[in-house]
Amino acid sequence: MSGYQRRTKDQLAARVAQDIFDGAVVNLGIGQPTLVANHLPPGREVILHSENGILGMGPAPSAGREDYDLINAGKQPVTLLPGGAYFHHADSFAMMRGGHIDICVLGAFQVSATGDLANWSTGEAGAIPAVGGAMDLATGAKQTWVMMDLLTKQGASKLVERCTYPLTGLACVRRVYTDLATFECTPQGLKLIDTVDGLARAELERLVGLPLAA
Amino acid sequence: MIDKIAHSVADALAGTPDGATVLIGGFGTAGIPGELIDGLIAQGAKDLTVVNNNAGNGDTGLAALLAAGRVRKIICSFPRQADSQVFDALYRAGRIELELVPQGNLAERIRAAGAGIGAFFCPTGFGTELAGNRETRVIDGRPYVLEYPIHGDLALIKAERGDRWGNLTYRKAARNFGPVMAMAAKKTVAGVHEIAELGMLDPEAIVTPGIFVSRIVKIARTATQAGGFKEAA
């Protein structure tokens, strides 16, 4: 049996945060990626972008101080840091598409070894589709990172040779941070960056089902 | 004399024809022109195409317009939400058409309409099912999809302050789609919380110049959990 422990959600967020450099402009996707903001190492100045027209987004306000004209992409009340700015939606997405955002962190259903991303739809019959800003972010940021559990609840790898769910973008993911290991997607396939303590490469390759270059 | 101030929402929305394409601003709780949407329900235009980031929440505002059976088609990026039951039911019953557009493409297609652009090549969505069968092109080694503008017959937006020339300022993230929607419609109606005397808005701070605005109407500031400004306790 395994002698390793999965990263908790907070440990995973901290692992992602460790790679965000001083001065970066970062967009954190809705859901799990928003946790990354709580783990940015002290001393690094990072500017958070929110797709609804905010740069320099700060943490949630204290109870009773909510302003519903100041919300994040997940529609929760936030604050503005000194130096922050507001702008309209077309400018906000120009920041993404124009390559002005350094890093975006997104969740995913599947990522292919070469960085194709599927994170907006499971293609399930009868489901109501919704895409939001996922395609714009995935395609536009200088680096797109994914954070997710490596395996589905059924034990299947979410890192795949080819995505079976509808695509969000082609060859757009640079790095994948998971509860078991960190990977880089390259045109030649997956490269292993790190694993949790006690997880052997051979065991990880067996779980992923794909070759991992060093 | 130029005076774009309407004395009531009904006055501002009079004459909206059936079949109109209506651009409606707002994102989440911020910048939703709720009073103008209520006015459109009262005005009675039907068979509308509505453009908004979402497809209505709860049972007020856009959701109420949908529930009243006035909307034939919605163009949006994120219809499915925890409280989008009105849209969900209409969609599942086949009673509303949905055009799903990535959020940035939605904003840029609206901006393009306002800026007189015939179409533009955009990288977002290339290789996905949302690119449909539209023309693609590789420019400098990067693939793009041809995207067409979204013109409105009417835009309903919310701003903070306005004057009789139609100049507007916004408040915080309530700005969102307002400035681009104002540009893209034949007629733009802005609800504002304050009407300023001409010359009292700082020209350096005007976000939407009055050239893009047809009518402004004063809307009371309301304290609400669900939308808009929450009064300090």
pTM for this prediction: 0.95
The predicted complex's ipTM stands at 0.95
Domain that holds residue A96: 9-208
Active site residue A45: no
Answer yes or no: do B28 and A52 touch at CB < 8 A.
Answer: yes
Q: Which of A200, A68, A176, A23 is nearest to A184 (CA)?
A: A176
- A99-127 in b/e burial notation, b at 16+ Cβ within 10 A? eebbbbbbebbbbbbbbbbbbbbeeeeee
> How many structural domains is chain A composed of?
1
A92 touches chain B (CB under 8 A): yes
- Active site residue: A45, A51, A66, A124, which one? A51
Q: What is the pLDDT of residues B116-138, one digit of tens each?
A: 999 999 999 999 999 999 999 99
Residue A213 lies in a domain: no
* Confidence category of residue B232, pLDDT binned at 50, 70, 90: very low
In this structure, the strands spanning A143-148 and B71-76 are: unpaired
A214 lies in a domain? no
How crowded is residue A201: how many other Cβ atoms within 10 Å of its Cβ? Answer: 12
The mean pLDDT of chain B is 94
C-beta separation of A108 from A148 below 8 A: yes
Closest Cα to residue A177, out of A97, A106, A124, A126?
A106
Q: How confident is the model at residue A214 (pLDDT cuts 50, 70, 90)?
A: confident
- Could you report the per-residue pLDDT of B37-46, keeping only the tens digit for each? 999 999 999 9
Q: At what angle do helices B103-115 and A89-97 cross, to 10 degrees?
A: 120
* Pairwise CA distance, residues B27 & A132, whole Å: 11
Domain spans, chain B = 9-119+150-218
Interface test mutation site (partner B, options A62, A114, A139, max chain B beta carbons within 10 A): A139
CATH number at A114 reads 3.40.1080.10
| CATH top-level class of B9-119+150-218 | alpha beta
